[in-house]
Structure 1
Amino acid sequence: MRLNARAIEKALPLLAIENNCIISKMADITVGFRLLLPEIFTQSADDYRSLHSAMCKAIKMLPAGTVLHKQDWFIEEKYRTHQHQANANTEDTSFLTMAFERHFVERPFLNHYCYLYISKLPKTRQKQKSNRHSLTRRRLVPRDQVDPKELQGFYDAIGQFESILNDGGIGVQRLKDEDLVSEKGDKGIIPNYFRLQPDGTKKITLEDWDIDGRVRVGDKEVICFTLSDVDSMPPAVNVMGKYGPLSSDSTQFAVGNVLPVGLMLPCNHIYNQYITIEDGPAALREFEQQTRHLHSLSLYSNENAINRDWTQRYIQEAIQQQRMVCRAHYNLMVWTQKPEQVDYIRAKASTAVSQLDCLPKHNTEDAARLLWAGIPGNAGDLPYDDTFYTFVEQAVCMFNLESSYRSSLSPFGIRLCDRFGKPVWVDLSDEPMDRGWTTNRNKFIIGPSGSGKSFFTNHMVRQYYEQGTHILLVDVGHSYRGLCDMINQKTHGKDGVYLTYEEDRPITFNPFYTEDGQFTIEKKESIKTLLLTLWKKETEAYTRTEEVALSDAVEQYLKEIRKNPSSASFNGFYEYCDAEEGFRKYLKEKKYERDYFDVQKFLLTMQPFYRGGEYDYLLNSDLKIDLLNKQFVVFELDNIKDHPILYPVVTLIIMETFVSKMRRLQGVRKMILIEEAWKAIAKEGMATYIQYLFKTVRKYFGEAVIVTQEIDDIIGNQIVKDAVINNSDCKILLDQSKYQNRFDEVRQLLGLSEKQKQLVLSVNKDLDSRRKYKEVFIALGHYSKVYATEVSLEEYAAYTTEQREQVEVRQRAKQAGGDIQVAITDFADARRFTAPV
C-alpha cells in the first residue's frame, strides 16, 4: 500500500503482540476471542432471548472506556474432500464415497468466522474525533504508559465476560499470540485481515491498499455500507425476526434479526459491530445540559422540542431501568475480485441492509477509515462522530448471533449437507451420548412415501457398514437389494446376505448350522423356540414337561452333530427323533411316559418341514451361511409378511441372529433396522422382541432403528409405542406437512419442543431448485437440526426404489457380466450427460 509515499508497515497502528494481547501504538490493549455461535435455523425465540440476555450481561461487566468490536466474516469457499473416518475400511469406501466426494468437490458455499475484540483505551482516546485519526497521523506514539495495576480490573472483567458467554450458550476461545500472528508474521488473523482472507491456510504476500477515491485491497474492490446514526436505524429493534420461507400457517420460524446481512448475503463480506462503553453518569449529565439548551430553543423550532423530548425519554429510561449507556456503530463491507460484479454486490448489500428496516448508506468518504478501524486491535480508531448513543440492550439486537453448520469432530458419522448445500460430517450415535444429549443410540425414522426415507436410510446404513458396523435389516419392498449387491460384489460374497422368498428361489435356513460348531445357550434357546412355534399353534399351550423333553431332544441331537457335522439340518433332527436308536431310545432309557411327550404326534406335526413335505426347503438349507459373522444381512419379508407359517419362522431367525450378534460380537458396533415396522410388529411375539431390543441393545454397543411411513404405525401399537418412543433418543422425521394442522398432538406424543415442531414443519419448504435433494429433521435429545440428503448419481443408482430404475441397473449389470459397479457407473453417466443444463 502507498499512503502519501509511505509503506503500510510504517502506518500500521499495532505495536506488538504480547501475552495473548494486541498492543497498539496508541497504548490500546486488546484481548481477542473466537466465538462459536449457535448454528443457523436451530434456535427458538426463547433461545434468541437467552443469547441476547447473556451477551448484554457479559457486556455490562466491562468498564467504561472499553470498546467491544465483534467482527463476522462470511467468506465464499469451495468444498474440499476430507477423510473423516478413522476406522473405515478404505476398500469399501473407494466407490460410492468417492462418488459422493466427486459430486461435491469445488462446490461453493459461504463459511462463517466470528471474532470478538475487547479494547481498553487511554482516556485521551475515548472520544477520538475524525480529524485526529491514526490513519492520517505521521507518527504514532502512545501517550501514556500502561500501569499493570490499572489493568487488573480490566482483565478481571474479561474473565467474567468469557464465563458469562460460555454459560449462555456461546462458545468462547481466547486467541493466543500464534492465532493473531504467526512467528514469521505471514499468517494469522491480523495479516489475513490485510488481504481480506480469514483462514490463513495459504502463504500470501501482503497486498497493497488503494484508498485514493475508492477502496481496494489487492485486486478486491471493497464497498462499505454504514449504520452510524439513529436516522438510519429502525424505530424499534428486536433480537430476532421471522423467516417467511420456513414459516407455516401454525408456526413462525424465528431467525436472528440481522440474518439478511449474515449467511443470507451470498458474497464475501464482513459485518462489523462496535459498542463503546460510556461513563454513564457523565454522559447523562451532558444530556441533561443538552436538554436544558434544547428547551430554551424549543420556542424557535419544533424540531428542538422534539429532540428535547427524545433526550428526556433517554435519560428517564437510563435511570428508571438501570440501562448501560453506550455508543454503537455497525458497518457492512462487501468485496469482489471481478469488476463486472461490483454493481451486483452493491445492489445485493443495499437490499440486505434494507431488509433490516434500516436506511442503507453507501459510505464512500469514510470507507477507508472504517476498513482501517476494522484491523483487529484497532477499534480505538473508530471515529467518535461515526457512532450514536443507545443502550446495550438495543445495541446487541443488531449483533449476528448465528453461524453456519459445523462438522462433528467425531471419527464416526455420516455425510449429510446443511440447508445451503455444504457437506457436513454428522455423528448420530457416539458424540450425542458423550455430550449427554442422549442416553442411547436407538432411532426411529418416519417419512411418507416419496419423502426420501429410503434414500436416507440407505445412505445411513451404507456409511455405518463402511465403518465396521454389523447391520441386520428387516425390509418390505426391496429397498436394499442394490446396496447388498454392491457389498457382495466388493467382498466377493463374504459380507452381504440377501434373504427373500421367491417362487423359484424360496427363503431357506439351517438353524442347526454354525460356522465354528459352537452352540451357545442363546443358540439352543433359539432352536427350541423355533421348534415350539412350529409344533404348537398360538392358541395352543404346551406343558412344562413337553418343553423339557424338547430341550432334551435338541441337546441330544447337538451331541450327534458334534460327532457328524455334515448331518446338521432339520431333516437330520427329524430322523434322529424318529430313529429307534435315536431319541426314542433316549426316551425309553429315561422312562418318559407317552402321556407326557408323544414323539409320534410331534413328528406328525413336523412332517411338512421334513424331506418331501410342503415346506421341506425352509429349514434344510445346504448353503453354509453363518449369519453371525455376516456384516450386512437383509431379510426381505414382502412376500411372506402375511404367511401363517413362513413369517413366524423368519421372525424367530431374525431374533436369534441379532441376539447372537449382540452377545457374541464383543466391541463391535451393531445395528438392527426394521423397515415398515407396523407389518413386522403386528404380532405380539415380535412386538415383545422389539420392546426387549430397544431397552437392552445399548448395553451391547448396538442400536435399534424403526423405519415407517406413518406416525400412527408406531403409536397405534400399544405394546411397542412406549418402548420405541421412550427409548429412542434420536428422532428422524421427513416431510410431515400432512400433519401441520394437527401437529400439536404429534408433538406431544413424540416429546418434541416448540422449536423442534417449527423445524419439522419447515422441512422441504425452501428447497433450492438447482439441486436435487430432500430434507430431513434429526433430533438428538434437545439438540436438533434439519439436514439435506443429497447424493451423487452413483449413490442414487444404488439406493433407488423406483422399479423401472432398478430393472435398468440390473440389465446394465447383466450386460457388464454381472458387474454392478460398472452398471451403476453407466447408469449415472447416462443421466449426467443427458441432464438439462
Structure 2
Amino acid sequence: MAKTKKRIFDGLYAQLEETDGSVVLFSAKGEPSVIFSMTNPVQQLCTDAEQYMLFQDVLSNIVQTLGEGYALQKQDILCKQAYRHDVPEDAEFLTRSYFKYFEGREFTEITTYLIITQEAQRGQFVQYDPKKWLDFHAKVSKVSDILAEKGIRHKKLTKAEVSEYCHRFMAFQFRHGPFSMTNFKASDEYLKTGERVIRSYPLVDIDEINLPSVIQPYTKIGINGYGIATDLLSFLTSVPHTDCVVFNQVVQIPNQRKLLRKLQAKAKRHGSMPDPSNKIAKADIEEVLNRLAVDTSMLVNTNFNILMSCPADKVTPVTSYLETKLYECGIMPSRTAYNQLELFVDSFPGNAYSFNPDYDLFLTLSDAALCFFFKEHLKGSETTPLTTYYTDRQGLPVCIDITGKEGKVKMTDNANFFCIGPSGSGKSFHMNSVVRQLLEQNTDVVMVDTGDSYEGICGYFGGTYISYSKEKPISMNPFKVTREEYDLNFGEKKNFLKSLIFLIFKGNELPSKIEDMLVNQTIVEYYDAYFHPFEKFTDIERDGLRQKLLVAAKMDDEYEKYAHEMEGIDEQIQQPPAKEETKALMLPSEERRLRLIRQCRAFQAVVLDKAATDSEKEKAAAKIELYKKELYETSMLVKIDKQIDHMEEQKRRLKVKELSFNSYYEFALERIPQITSLEKIKFDIRDFAAILKQFYRGGELEMTLNSDLDVNLFDERFIVFEIDKIKDDPVLFPIVVLIIMDVFLQKMRIKKGRKALIIEEAWKAIASPTMAEYIKYLYKTVRKFHGIAGVVTQELNDVIDSPIVKEAIINNSDVKILLDQTKFKDRYEDIAAILGLTPIQRQQIFTINALNNHDNRNYFKEVWICRGQNSDVYGVEEPPECYWAYTTERAEKEALKIYLRHYGTMQDAITHIEIDRKKAGISKYLDFARQVNNRQKVMSLW
C-alpha cells in the first residue's frame, strides 16, 4: 500500500470559535490565541525618540502583565498597494486631475496585528483547565485596557477577519481585493508559489548570535547633519522589488525560576573552569542575573523573522539589501536558514509555540527583545470637514485640516498662519495649492500679491484681478461708513482710520498721546457731524461744558490775577446801579452777578452804618467776602457762557456732507486748531496738513483714498490685489495693504462662511508700530468671523530682526508653515527661539527635501506645517494640470495665455497644453513653453 504524502498545512489549526466575547484561534497543539489589529503609535520620521521609548514601555507592560506561560506575537505586514480615491462626479477639474494623477500609484501600507497566545500543556492530549481559561481571557482584557489607556488604536478581529487573515497569510497575498491560492514548492533557499518567491530571513543565528552589544528601541540616521530618531527596521517600508514584507516578532515568557536555576548552574560550571572564555561567559551570565534582580525585565525566548515575497530573479538583490541594512544596525542575519518551509509555517498567526527551541529560539532579556519590535506607522489622513491634500513622505496623498481647528482633533484656537520660504523653495506653488483647495471648499479668499504669483489660479476660478499702476491706482474710500456700521461697529472702524492716518502722518514712528487724542477726537466728531448734523447744545450739554470749562479756567488762574479780579469786583460794588440793567436781555449768569452785587452793596451799607454794632459789621464783612468769591466765579461763568456760544457757532459751521478723505481733511484742519486753542496744547497743524496733503484734492495720490470701491467686490469669491509696482514705496505700500485689509474686514462681517486674507511679502507693510497694532487687531478679530489671516514671505531676516513682526504676527498665529530652511541653518538658533521651536521640530524642519524620495514623482517640494503643538513634514506634489494653473514662470504663463486665447477657457487651455506637451515628448514644462512662445500659436497650428 502506497504511503499518503503528508500535507504540511493540514492540521495547522485545530479550531476557530467565538467564545466569552472573543474570537479564539486554537493551534494544532491546542494553544488559544486572540488577535488584535492595531496601529503602531510612532509615526515614521517623527524624529521624536521619546515616542519610541514610550511604546517600548507599553510593550514591556504587556509582557509583564501576561507573565509566564504566555507568548506575545506581533506581525507587521508591509504590503505594496495601489492608490485609489473616489472622486465625486461634480468635483472641480483640478481636483479630478489631482486624484487621477495619483491613481494606481504604488505605496507601502503597514498593517499590524498583536496576538496573545497561551501555552498549552505538553502531552498527548490537551486538557481543559477552567482556571487557565479564565486567566487567558482576563489577560487578553488587560492587554486591551493597556492599549486603550495609552491611546493606541486597536480592536479584536472578528471570526471572518481572523479567517481571512490566516488565509491571506497562507497565500501570502495582502493586496486589497480578491486573492487565490496556488501550489507551494519548497527548497532550502525559498518557497515558490506561482511566479513569486517567499523567503524567510531570521534575524538571529543562535550558533553565532551576531547582535549589537548595546540595544535601544530606536536608532539614529544622519540627515542634514542631524541625528534623526527612527525605528531599527524602518527600512522595511522600502525594500526594493518586493510586493510584501512580513516582520514576525515572537516573545515567549517561560518559567522564570526554572531558567534562573539553569543560568546559576551554568555560571558555576563556567566558574569551575578558569580560562578566559569561561570567565567572559560567567561575567555575562552574572550581569544578566544582576539585571533581573534590579529591574522588572524578564527572561524570554524570542524569534524575529522577516518574510518577503518577490519575483524569483530578484531574490539576490533583495537579500543583499536586507543584509546591508541589518548590518548597519549591527545585526548579522542567519545565513543557514535552510528550513524555509518550517520557518514559514511557524510564523503563522497564533503559532508562537511551534518554533524548534534548539535552533529557532534565542534567550534574552525582555527589554532587549522588545527593542527589536517594529514601532512605526505611516502618515494617515485626518477626519475633517476642511480637507487640504498633501503627500506623505513616500508620495501618497493624505488630507489634513490646514487650520488645525475644524477637524475632529482640535489643535489650534485660531486659523491664522505665517509661511516662510526662501526664493526657489516652492512657497508660491504651495500657497497656490492651499488657495485652490480653500476656494473649492466654499472659502472667500482675498489676496495681496507682489509678483503675479496668483494670476493663473485667479484666471482659472474667474476671480477679480486688480493690478496697481500709476495710470489706474487701486482706489478706495475707507472713510465711507454705512449707518449700520456706524451704529454697530464704529469702534473698530475708528481704530482702523486712526492707524491709516498715523501711517501717513508718522510713518514708522509711534504717535504721541496728544496726537492720538487729537486724531481720535476729530474722527469721532467728523462722523458725529455727518450722522447727527449739529444745531445747538442741549441744556444738559451746556451744563456739562460749563463745568468742564470752569475747572479748566480755575486750573489756569493765578493769585495775582485773582487779586486783580477782586479789586475789580470791589469797584463794581462801590459803583451806583446802572439804569440800563434790565433782566430781559441778560444771560442767567449775568442775572446772578447783578443779584450778588446788590446783596454786596446792602452788606456794604451795614459795614458803613455808624449805628450798626461791631458784631453786625463783622458778619456783614464776612458775607461780602463770600459773595465776592461767588461774584468772581459768576463773572467767569459769564465769560464761559460766551465761550460756549462761540463753540456752538463753530460746531454749527462744521458740516460734513459726504464721507471721504477730502472731507475729513477739511474737517480736521478746521477743528484741530479749535481744540488746541481750547485745551491750550501744542500740535503742529502745518506739518500735519502738509504730509496729508498728497492724498487731498489735486494731490498726487488723491484717488487712493477718495474713490468708492466697486460694491460688487463684496460678492466676489476670489480677489487678488497685485501691488508689485508699489512694493518698494515706503508710503504707499503699507497704506494700500492697510485699506485692502479694511476691505477684507468689511467683507468678512457681511458674508457668511469661511473667509481668508493672505498677504504676500507683508513685512515691509508692517514695519511701523501703528501697522503692527492694526495687524494684531486684525488677527484677533478674524477668528470671531470664521476667518483666516495669513502672511507669506521669503525674507527670514525680517522675522529675526523685527520685534514688531514677532508681536503682531508670530504670537498671534497658531499655524506656522516653513519651507526649505537649509540656507539659514547657521542662524537657526535665533529663528528657533523666536518661533518657539522645540528640538524635535528643528530636526523635522531639516529633513525637508533631504530624503531620497524623489524617484518617479512630478515636481514637488516639501513643507513643514505646525498646528499648535502638532507638527510634521508634508509633500506638495501636484499634477501637470495644477502646475500650469500655478506656475509663476513668465514664459510658461505666456504660453498658457496663447492656449487660452485659442481655446477660450482656462480649463480647456490647461487640458490642451498638457496633452500637446506629452504628445511632443517634452518632459520639461519650460522647454515646451518656449517652443509655444517662439511660434506664438498652439501646437496643432505648428
Instruction: Tell me if both proteins adopt one fold, taking TM over 0.5 as the criterion.
Output: yes
- Partner of 1:470, secondary structure, is strand
SS at match of 2:907: helix
* 1:395 aligned onto 2:369: yes
Matched residue of 2:910: which SS? helix
1:514·1:626 contact (CA, 8 Å) conserved in 2? no
1:119-158 aligned within 5 A: 119-124=117-122, 143-147=126-130, 149-158=131-140
What does 1:607-618 align with in structure 2 at a 5 Å threshold?
A: 614-615=700-701, 617-618=703-704
Partner of 2:522: 546
Residues 210 and 333 of structure 2 are in contact (CA less than 8 Å); yes or no, is this contact kept in structure 1?
A: no
1:21 aligns with 2:23: yes
Pairing 1:499–2:499 present: no
Residue 239, structure 1, aligned to residue 217, structure 2: yes
Residue aligned with 2:136, SS: helix
Q: 1:3-37 CA distances to partner (integer Å, 9 max, x unpaired)? A: 96567884331411313332314321212222212
Query: CA 1:595–1:29 in 2, change beyond 3 Å: closer, same or farther?
Result: same
Q: Is the 8 A contact 2:388 2:401 kept in 1?
A: yes
Alignment-derived partner of residue 329 in structure 1 = 303
Query: 1:450 is paired with a residue of what secondary structure?
Result: coil
SS class of match (2:65):
coil
Deviation at 1:769, TM superposition (A): 4.5
Q: Hey, what does 1:345 align to over in structure 2?
A: 318
Distance in 1 between the 2:774 and 2:909 partners? 39
d(CA) in 2 for partners of 1:94, 1:515: 37
Determine whether 1:162 maps to 2:165. no
- Name whichever of 390-399 and 5-14 sits farther off: 5-14
Q: Distance in 2 between matches of 1:319 and 1:524?
A: 72
Deviations 1:91-125 (A, max 9, x none): 5x422222222322222121211111110121328
Once the two structures are TM-superposed, the CA of residue 401 in structure 1 deviates from its matched residue by 0.9
AA paired with 1:810? K
Match of residue 537 from structure 1: 505
- Number of the residue aligned with 1:134: none
| 1:335–1:345 CA contact under 8 A, matched in 2 | no
Q: 1:640 aligns with which of 706, 726, 744?
A: 726
2:78 is aligned with 1:74: yes
- Is 1:254 matched up with 2:339? no
Compute the displacement of 1:350 (Å): 3.0
Instruction: Give the alignment partner of residue 285 of structure 1, picking from 247, 261, 269.
Output: 261
- TM-score, normalised on structure 2? 0.74
After TM superposition, give the deviation of residue 347 of structure 1 in Å. 2.7
Correspondence 1:407 to 2:381: yes
Distance 1:607 1:225, change over 3 A: closer
Change (3 A) 1:390 1:229: farther
Q: Secondary structure at the match of 2:302?
A: strand
Q: 1:98 aligns with which of 87, 91, 96?
A: 96
How far does residue 305 in structure 1 lie from its aligned partner after superposition?
5.5
SS of aligned partner of 1:269: strand
Greater Cα offset, 359-368 or 614-623: 614-623
* Aligned 8 A contact 2:187 2:340 in 1: no
Q: What corresponds to 2:348 in structure 1?
A: 375
Cα distance between partner residues in 2 of 1:54 and 1:504: 69
Larger radius of gyration: 2
Aligned-partner SS, 1:381: coil
Bigger Cα displacement from structure 2, 653-662 vs 774-783: 653-662
Cα distance change on mapping 1:524 and 1:483 into 2, 3 Å: farther
Cα 1:781/1:790, change in 2 over 3 Å: same
Closer, same or farther: CA 577–16 of 1 in aligned 2, 3 Å: closer
Corresponding residue number in structure 2 for 1:422: 396
Quick one: which amino acid aligns to residue 309 of structure 2? W
Distance in 2 between residues matched to 1:316 and 1:615, nearest whole Å = 85
5 Å-filtered alignment, 1:195-274, equals 195-198=171-174, 201-211=176-186, 214-230=190-206, 231-236=208-213, 237-244=215-222, 246-248=223-225, 251-263=226-238, 267=242, 268-274=244-250
Q: Shift of the alpha carbon at 1:294?
A: 4.5
Would the aligned equivalents of 1:58 and 1:162 in 2 still touch at CA under 8 Å?
Answer: no
Distance in 1 (CA, whole Å) between partners of 2:748 and 2:216 is 53
RMSD, matched Cα: 3.9
Select 2:871's aligned residue among 784, 793, 807: 784
Cα distance in structure 1, aligned partners of 2:442 and 2:840: 35
Taking a change above 3 Å as real, the CA distance of residues 331 and 576 of structure 1, as seen in their structure-2 partners, is: closer
8 A Cα contact 1:265 1:352, kept in partner = no
Amino acid at match of 2:331: C
Distance 1:167 1:731, change over 3 A: farther
Alignment partner, residue 772 of structure 2: 687
Aligned-residue sequence identity (percent) comes to 29
Which residue is 2:823 aligned to?
A: 738
* Structure 2 Cα separation of the partners of residues 532 and 575 of structure 1: 14
> What secondary structure sits across from 2:373 in the alignment?
coil
Q: Distance in 2 between matches of 1:431 and 1:370?
A: 49
SS of alignment partner, residue 60 of structure 1: helix
Aligned match of 1:470 in 444, 447, 469? 444
SS of aligned partner of 2:837:
coil
Separation in 1 of the partners of 2:299 and 2:431?
54
State how far apart, in whole Å, the 1-side matches of 2:792 and 2:257 are. Answer: 64
How many residues get paired? Answer: 768
> Which residue of structure 2 lines up, in the alignment, with residue 762 of structure 1?
847
Structure 2 CA distance for aligned equivalents of residues 649 and 303 of structure 1: 83
Residue deviations 1:444-500 (CA, integer Å, cap 9, x gap):
211111111111111112111111122222222221111111110xxxxxxx22222
Matched-pair contact (CA < 8 Å) for 1:73–1:271:
yes
Q: Do the aligned partners of residues 623 and 834 (structure 1) sit closer, same or farther apart at CA in structure 2, a change above 3 Å counting?
A: farther
Q: Deviations over 1:210-243 (max 9, x none)?
A: 3365413454310111124442432322222121
- In structure 2, what is the Cα distance between the partners aligned to 1:189 and 1:121? 22
User: CA 1:362 to 1:828, structure 2 compared with 1: closer, same or farther past 3 Å?
Assistant: farther
Measured in 2, the distance between the counterparts of 1:448 and 1:594 equals 50
Contact 2:78–2:236 (8 Å) recurs in 1: no
* Deviations 1:100-156, CA, capped at 9 Å, x for gaps: 22322222121211111110121328xxxxxxxxxxxxxxx9612242x32333333
Task: Measure how far apart 1:647 and its partner are.
Answer: 4.0
Change (3 A) 1:43 1:59: farther
CA separation of 1:106/1:324 partners in 2, compared to 1, >3 Å: closer, same or farther? Answer: same
Q: 2:49 aligns with which of 45, 48, 66?
A: 45
C-alpha distance in 2 between matches for 1:543 and 1:241: 64
Instruction: Quote how far apart the aligned CAs of 1:392 are.
Output: 0.7
- Out of 822, 825, 830, the position equivalent to 2:908 is 822
Aligned-partner residue type, residue 708 of structure 1: T
* TM score, norm. by length of structure 1: 0.82
Aligned to 1:12: 12
Aligned to 2:332: 359
- Any conservation in 2 of the 1:327–1:390 contact (CA below 8 Å)? yes
More helix by share: 2
2:103 partner letter: V
Do 1:334 and 1:349's aligned partners in 2 also have CA atoms closer than 8 Å?
A: no
CA positional deviation for 1:391: 0.5
Check the 8 A contact 1:196/1:217 in 2, yes or no.
no
CA distance in 1 between counterparts of 2:428 and 2:483 reads: 35
Seen in structure 2, the aligned counterparts of structure 1 residues 110 and 349 have a Cα distance that, compared at 3 Å, is: same
Q: What residue in structure 2 maps to residue 805 of structure 1?
A: 892
- The unaligned stretches of length 5 or more in structure 2 are 534-655, 679-685, 925-942
